[in-house]
Amino acid sequence: MTATIRPFGHDQKRVEDPRMITGQAKYTDDFTLPGMLHLAVVRSPFAHARITGIDTTAAEAMPGVRAVFTGAQMRDAGYGGIPCAWVVPDSGTVTPEHPPLAIDTVRYVGDAVAAVVADNDYLARDAAMAVEVDYEPLDVVTDAHAAHQDGAPQLHADAANNQCFKWTVAGGDIDAAFAEADVTVSERIINQRLVPMAMEPRSALAQVIGSMGEVTLWNTTQNPHIVRFLTSLDTPFPEHKIRVIAPDVGGGFGSKIPHYPEDTMVIYASQLTGAPVKWTETRSENFQATIHGRDHVQDVEMCAKSDGTITGIRATVWANLGAYLSTASTGVPTILHGLMLSGCYTIPNIHEDVYGMFTNTTPVDAYRGAGRPEAVFMVERLVDKVANALDMDPVDIRRQNFIPPFDDGHEVATGLIYDTGNYHGALDLALEKAGYEELRRAQEEARAEGRYMGIGVCTYVEICGLGPSEVAGAVGFGGGLWESAIVRFHPSGKVRLMVGVNPHGQGEQTTFAQVVADQMGVPVGDVDVFYGDTAQTPMGWGTYGSRTTAVAAGAIVGAMEKIKEKGRKIAAHLLEAAVEDIEFDDGKFYVKGSPEAAKTIQEIATAANVAWSMPEGVEPGLEASAFFNPSNFVYPFGAHIAVVEVDPETGEIDFQRYIAVDDCGPIINPMIVEGQVHGGIAQGVAQALWEGVEYDDAGNLLTSSLMDYAIPKAGSFPKFELGHTVTPTEVNPLGVKGIGETGTIGSTPAMYSAVMDALAPLGVEKVDMPLTPERVWRAIEAAKA
């Protein structure tokens, strides 16, 4: 036996890195084509107004300006509204028209009104400022709950009371549960609006080849195949004449899932001018015109027996969708939120009504976690409140209500069937790593000294690995959720893997190479993983919902099985043996019992590619394609613990420790998995402590730059303490679950809970997120009064 390291489970250094640490990575804005023009967008300064006139003459006369166009021109040229790709059934969903450029009404600050194409970006922006638009301002509503009230300003003629949908999930008998309860708790939770803030701004570059009727779109997207499909619906170009290239993509966090109006604007601009046209957003535009996340008003209640047994959860939620429907807007606060209200607990009775609401704000769509953070925060907050009401330790009430360990499915009251879980195991490990008993003793001592230390515990389960395509169809998603892969052996035995998913920081160029290397017995460095070009990759639905590895790995394994099967036939032929006697192990085919006379996979690849001597009926080449449609979602889970101390004089929070135990099944690359958790925790903690979008009453976006929206910095965090338990799933052949969103989902409730625990002796019962020093200080002062 050689002492080789198995690629699976190894801290393989990333193959993405060399280009990224040397400046050789290529992001969309890095592409310059000969004769390329630049597009700038004229955006509405009003949150709600009627457009009474657009005068482009001054702009058109400016130096370097090649074209100025409006929504009416795009419509007349055959460009339609931006499609919404998710319409939740049985919810009365209305899908108002969303023209790429507003035609007669603007509905949020940043809504696009006209576009300018010029020789360079500076000239384009100068001319954009010279486009004169006459507005007749209308009344404005920005809050989802307020938008639902009688007399609220109306955004869309087809959405009475601004309601896009009403969706209900129910299981058990919620009224009986509350009637028979010993204790009930309730709260209005504001799960505030956030900005995803990928560091790379969005960008789109289109090159229309008029004579061929085709277009290439370089785009900052998490899912090039979806963008191609949706672009075929709102431009005159059919799907087979559209090529979408997603080069290196600088983070997404959900914000690069949607198909955006600017994608179609650059295509029209290129068609109009006959030149390639590029648009890259400024960070200010990113705040206004790239989707936001979260933004729920939640009226929630939980009931329990006096021994701590939780018996029901009931909620009414107003989910702010913004001014228009983005690609997946309606699925986030329903399927990805409401179905998760049982959390990791046995809660037999559940009822939730969700109102999807239009408001005069930036469209809201998926932001890391997407629906699940809003569900887990709600459940965990209520569990803490029940524990407080019954004077129980937050750990004890969780243990008491956990779904017991299961490995073959567990159905919860919302109808979901969780795949596998061991919630006790994750919590026990987190408590051990944290030294929980010791922390509670330290807290007692701190309190005796007049210091306000807090310990927050969150136990969560989340739904990801989206998902079975039958379910996608049943819940109204306008696409499938399977994945495909092509594994191709070159004549020299090197391997190319092509996939339809589109990693943008998650490192699958490395982990997928590890999976191939592990199963085919080839060096990791011999595997080239390719994605991000609809012309060169098989169909796939993209990277989001912690699905990339959990779903695409099934297709990769399937393709490799076909390669192995064909390799066996070729090896049998070369070794003059029967196919059924051929074994494959560690990159070698050999006759059972005589491993010394082996053919390596590389030799087989050469033989198959030259095809000088193939077995009867076997085609040349060594390449296979496979599709994988998972049988269920996957349900990663974990336990997070935060430790803080609050200064009651200033409201400042000293963030002392963070312990996270996550279970994503078997780990392919621990280094990458831990990196995903680090980043997730940072974003989730940021929601609890720092980040929040603010609009004023007129709908002006007050947090419209990095000067007034507080994303965390290096000094914001202590060193994170991580651990893992391993509970494989049966849903895919590698047993893996997703890890991209767990950190975000677990950390907001853990951090919030820690701060509330610290403030408990001061009589503070509630502070809305983000827990800025000012808000905490005001709450402390109010509690004194």
- Site residues for another protein per CB under 8 A: 13-14, 16-27, 29-30, 32, 120-122, 197-201, 248-251, 253, 282-284, 504-507, 671-672, 674-675, 678-683, 705-707, 711-717, 719-720, 743
The residue (of 17 and 90) whose beta carbon lies closer to another protein is 17
The minimum distance between CB 13 and another protein, in angstroms, equals 6
Task: Select 143 or 248, whichever has its Cβ closest to another protein.
Answer: 248
Structure tokens given for 148: 């639902």
Hey, what are 676's tokens? 């995903």
Four-residue CA torsion sign, 361, 364, 369, 372: positive
Residue 286 or 727: the one with the smaller Cβ distance to another protein is: 286
CA distances to 27, 396, 430, 690, 728 from 725, in Å? 36, 20, 10, 30, 10
Residues 618, 624, 627, 631, Cα dihedral to 10°: 80
Cα dihedral across residues 101, 105, 111, 114: positive or negative = positive
Is 121 or 586 the residue whose CB approaches another protein more closely? Answer: 121
Least gap, CB of 56 to another protein (angstroms): 23
Tokens of 669: 């690359």
Which of 283/305 has CB closer to another protein?
283
CA 376 to chain centre: 16
Nearer to another protein, 519 or 744 (CB): 744
Q: Residue 131 CB, nearest distance to another protein (Å)?
A: 20
3-state secondary structure of 359: coil
Do the strands 410-411 and 349-358 form a parallel or antiparallel pair, or are they unpaired?
unpaired
Of 671 and 760, which has the nearer Cβ to another protein?
671
What lies within 8 Å, CB to CB, of 183 at 6+ separation is 303, 304, 305, 306, 386, 389, 390
Q: Which residue has the tokens 């309606």?
A: 330
CA neighbor of 694 nearest in space, from 326, 317, 362 = 362
Q: Shortest approach of another protein to residue 750 CB, angstroms?
A: 14
For another protein, give the closer residue by CB, 191 or 203: 203
* Residues 23 and 104 sit within 8 Å (Cβ to Cβ): no
Is the Cβ of residue 140 or residue 195 nearer to another protein in the bound state? 195
Distances (CA, A) of 441 to 397, 447, 459, 667: 19, 10, 22, 35
3-state secondary structure of 669: coil
From start to end of 195-272, where are the E strands? 203-209, 214-219, 242-245
Task: Provide, rounded to whole angstroms, the least separation between the CB of residue 368 and another protein.
Answer: 10
Cis upstream peptide for 761 (omega within 30°)? no
Please give the Cα distance from 254 to 238 (Å, whole number): 26
The nearer residue to another protein, 52 or 705, going by C-beta atoms, is 705
Q: Please count the residues of the chain.
A: 785
β-pairing, 622-628 with 483-489?
antiparallel
Least distance CB 741 / another protein (angstroms): 13
In angstroms, how far is CA 486 from the centroid of its own chain? 25
* Nearer residue to another protein within complex by CB, 15 or 269: 15
CA 696, 701, 706, 710 torsion-angle sign: positive
CB of 223 to another protein, least distance (A): 16
CB 110 to another protein: min, Å: 15
Contact 95, 229 (CB under 8 A): no
Residue 613's CB: how many other CB atoms inside 10 A? Answer: 9
CB 120 to another protein: min, Å: 8
Nearer to another protein, 675 or 733 (CB): 675
Within 13 A of 135's CA, how many CA atoms are on the CB side?
20
Nearest distance in Å: CB 447, another protein = 27
Contact 528, 601 (CB under 8 A): no
Cβ proximity to another protein, 575 vs 711, nearer residue: 711
Cis peptide before 467 (omega within 30 of 0): yes
- Residue 237 Cβ, how far from another protein at the closest point, in Å? 28
CB of 707 to another protein, least distance (A): 5
- The dihedral over CA atoms of 576, 580, 581, 585, expressed in degrees to the nearest 10, equals 110
What's CA 674's distance to the chain center, in Å? 17
Q: How far is the CB of 195 from another protein (least distance, A)?
A: 10
Q: Which is nearer to another protein, 38 or 599 (CB)?
A: 38
Q: Which is nearer to another protein, 673 or 758 (CB)?
A: 673
Q: How far is Cα 374 from Cα 190, in angstroms, rounded to an integer? A: 10
CA distance 253 to 251: 6
Instruction: Of 12, 499, 509, 505, give the one whose Cα is nearest residue 255.
Output: 505
- Nearest distance, CB of residue 399 and another protein, angstroms: 29
Q: How far is CA 520 from CA 155, 493, 557, 596, in A?
A: 57, 11, 10, 18
Shortest approach of another protein to residue 505 CB, angstroms? 3
Indicate the residue among 183 and 671 with the shorter CB distance to another protein: 671
Helix (H) or strand (E) holding 311: strand 310-322
Minimum CB distance to another protein, residue 339 (Å): 28
Residue 213 burial (CB count, 10 A): 11
Helix (H) or strand (E) holding 383: helix 372-389
Kindly report the number of other CB atoms within 10 A of residue 22's CB atom.
8
- Closest CB 161 distance from another protein, rounded Å: 36
> Which residue, 697 or 708, has its beta carbon nearer to another protein?
708
CB 374 within 8 A of CB 191: yes
Q: Are 658 and 640 in contact (CB under 8 A)?
A: yes
Which residue, 198 or 731, is less far from another protein as judged by CB? 198
Give least dist CB 427 to another protein, A. Answer: 22
